[in-house]
Structure 1
Amino acid sequence: MKSFQALFIEKEADNTSLHFRETTLDNLPENEVTIEVHYSGINYKDGLAVLPEGKIVNQYPFIPGIDASGVVIESKSDRFQVGDEVIVTSYDFGVSYFGGYSEFIRVPAEWVVPLPQGLSLKEAMILGTAGFTAALSVDALESSGVRPETGKTAVSGATGGVGSLSTAILAKRGFSVVASSGKKDAKDFLQKFGASEVVSREAFQPEKIRALDKQLYAGAIDCVGGKPLSYLLTAVQYGGAVTTCGMSAGGKLDTTVFPFILRGVQLLGIDSVLCPMQKRTQIWQRLATDFKLANLDELATEINFQALPEALHQVMNGGVTGRYLVKIK
């Protein structure tokens, strides 16, 4: 049995800790597709998984990591052959099922997406769940009728993974993006991603939120929930739309019916976890074609596998701008 390294979360009493351990393929869950992992990434949910109060992991020891890309080494499914390059994200992966912080993984075939032509394994994980969620958000805005010529588009939490990649994809599509962030170094970072204008976090969190505010934006991508989402709903113009996919600013939404019944504003929920495979494949195809970002290598900081524990803690301490790419192989 070939041994390999995986990063385990272990729990003792009320504390969790991270340790690299040697394990074997026989210790992975029995399933259809076995993959040698080349790259993974770090998402907010990965950071939560390492916290004892994060409410992500229920059983220990556990291998976290909600993203992985790599090469199939064994398959019991007709959909995949040895040597296929693939992506695995979402579902229970890295949450209640051993995840991508491992040199090898074994997963159900219905969780696996063939790597689309036009993306490398590395580029797929620079994007990861964050890029997939951002692409879902932009796709939803476009499907609702929001276009570059209809006005500016707002992005909240823009220095995070989903926010920064939403900004970049919108800019790629010709949108004028107003990006909001509380980070001191946000302006240069977000302009690199294509933001036309960078505003403070407070700009999307006025002291008093009116039932209807000035119609400043054709649409908005909200990545944080809470007060910014409440405000953006009031500031989107007639017939516009707002997508929402996060709750780092709060899970409560304080709003009225007025944006919906007087301006016809649409509130579009974005879920990447249970997104149907047909839609999932279409979105990854867009990330490899009309959503493809020219400067992907510049949009993430690459770290090696051994640096992962420290990076996970940095993410949860708020000390990271943008994305981490984790080189596993």
Structure 2
Amino acid sequence: MDNINFKALEIREVDNKFERNIIEKEINDLPEGDMLVKVKYSSLNYKDALSAAGNRGVTKNYPHTPGIDAAGVVVEDQSSNFQEGDKVIVTGYDLGMDTDGGFEEYIRIPSEWAVKLPQNLTLKESMIYGTAGFTAALSVYKLLASELPGKKVLVTGPSGGVGSFACSILAKKGYQVTAATGKTDARDYFNNLGVNEVISRSEIDDKSGRMLLKEKWDGVIDTVGGNMLATAIKSTKYAGAVTCCGNVASAELPINVYPFILRGVSLHGIDSVLCDKKLRTEIWDKLAADWKIESLASIGKEVGLNNLSKNIDKMLAGNSKGRIVVKL
């Protein structure tokens, strides 16, 4: 392909400060990989905001272009796994971490990182889901594969991207969803997600020190970790299951073995980064078909590269709402 110029958001360290600028790059500037993709849409995630702020726990080397999600059209693929013109979704692996990500008009990646866009899903819709929607769907998948004893499921962190999508998918599948949140006044929002009950997160933050608590939940999707996860596990019914995918409350888990050896509770860790390609494809197919959210278009706010930096600032300040879709 010709060495054309294109636009990208670049994060560069200057005098111990991190600056964001829209720059022009060339195809030859891209990292090694057997697939070249023209990016049509990306999305803004908290991990992207951290990378854009110079967080070395996310991105080690700068200058860098964030964007852990990308959706676009294959320009060339040396592996022959895809054809020119195929529409693909790229999430996970090292995209946007230390490999330049979706906040640029072209990406070059290993072809195994890509999944073909399913029928009944547009490129923009795939980025409204993004890593958050994929993680939520993977959590639901693992939960339902556990053959829960009943239909009552607790979701923690339900106002976040993963929690919101999890609530909507579970409700669509006929489960009775309880949302544990610090935003109990936002009942209309949770009702629109299909939530049956809204409780204060303080109700699942038990500090009594008891080994087991009253059985309440057939299943739990936890996005926050810490003592709330421990409380949820202790409150899960016999043969119930819990998934875990976040640590915003804490990375520590103050738990004992009794829920597992006396109630047979299962705990499933959710990793959306290195998820098996076959399972990754199956999850995207579900998000495009029977798990597809009818109100998906209303969830995503579209911005361009020129407006991306101020949306990053809003996210870092905790003032971001909904899903931010980046049109390249």
TM-score scaled by structure 1? 0.95
Q: How does 1:104-115 map to 2 (within 5 A)?
A: 104-115=106-117
Question: 1:310 is aligned with what amino acid?
Answer: K
CA deviation vs aligned residue, 1:190-248 (integer Å, no higher than 9, x gap)? 22111111222222223435321111111000001111101100111110010000111
Q: Does the alignment pair 1:102 with 2:75?
A: no
Q: Distance in 2 between matches of 1:126 and 1:45?
A: 16
Question: Taking every aligned residue pair, what percent have the same amino acid on both sides?
Answer: 45
CA deviation vs aligned residue, 1:245-270 (integer Å, no higher than 9, x gap)? 01111100001111111111101000
Q: Report if aligned partners of 1:5, 1:102 keep a CA contact under 8 Å in 2.
A: yes
Q: Distance in 1 between matches of 2:28 and 2:273?
A: 27
SS at match of 2:145: helix
Q: Distance in 2 between matches of 1:13 and 1:184?
A: 44
Q: Distance in 1 between matches of 2:31 and 2:38?
A: 15
Q: Is the deviation greater in 194-203 or in 17-26?
A: 194-203
CA deviation vs aligned residue, 1:53-92 (integer Å, no higher than 9, x gap)? 4511111100100000011122212111111100001001
* Regions of 4+ moved over 3 Å: 183-186
Q: Distance in 2 between matches of 1:327 and 1:180?
A: 33
Q: Report if aligned partners of 2:184, 2:200 keep a CA contact under 8 Å in 1.
A: no
Residue 50 of structure 1 and its aligned partner are, at CA, apart by 2.0
Consecutive unaligned residues of structure 2, counting only runs of 5 or more, are none
CA separation of 1:22 and 1:13: change in aligned 2, threshold 3 A: same
Structure 1 counterpart of 2:31 = 29
SS at match of 1:144: coil
Residue 27 of structure 1 and its aligned partner are, at CA, apart by 0.8
Structure 2 counterpart of 1:175 = 175
Structure 2 counterpart of 1:261 = 261
Q: Distance in 1 between matches of 2:54 and 2:32?
A: 27
Q: Is the deviation greater in 116-125 or in 45-54?
A: 45-54
Question: 1:69 is aligned with what amino acid?
Answer: A
Q: Report if aligned partners of 1:160, 1:323 keep a CA contact under 8 Å in 2.
A: no
Q: Distance in 2 between matches of 1:261 and 1:86?
A: 43
Residue 189 of structure 1 and its aligned partner are, at CA, apart by 1.8
Consecutive unaligned residues of structure 1, counting only runs of 5 or more, are none
Q: Does the alignment pair 1:249 with 2:252?
A: no
Residue 13 of structure 1 and its aligned partner are, at CA, apart by 4.0
Q: Distance in 2 between matches of 1:29 and 1:319?
A: 34
Q: Is the deviation greater in 89-98 or in 184-193?
A: 184-193
Alignment root-mean-square deviation, CA: 1.5
Structure 1 counterpart of 2:120 = 118
Q: How does 1:149-298 map to 2 (within 5 A)?
A: 150-183=150-183, 186-298=186-298
Q: Report if aligned partners of 2:171, 2:194 keep a CA contact under 8 Å in 1.
A: yes
Q: Report if aligned partners of 1:32, 1:106 keep a CA contact under 8 Å in 2.
A: yes
Give the counterpart of 2:84 among 77, 82, 85: 82
Q: Report if aligned partners of 1:229, 1:253 keep a CA contact under 8 Å in 2.
A: yes
Q: Does the alignment pair 1:69 with 2:71?
A: yes
Residue 52 of structure 1 and its aligned partner are, at CA, apart by 3.0
Q: Report if aligned partners of 1:134, 1:162 keep a CA contact under 8 Å in 2.
A: yes
Q: Report if aligned partners of 1:180, 1:199 keep a CA contact under 8 Å in 2.
A: yes
SS at match of 1:119: coil
Q: Distance in 2 between matches of 1:216 and 1:135?
A: 23
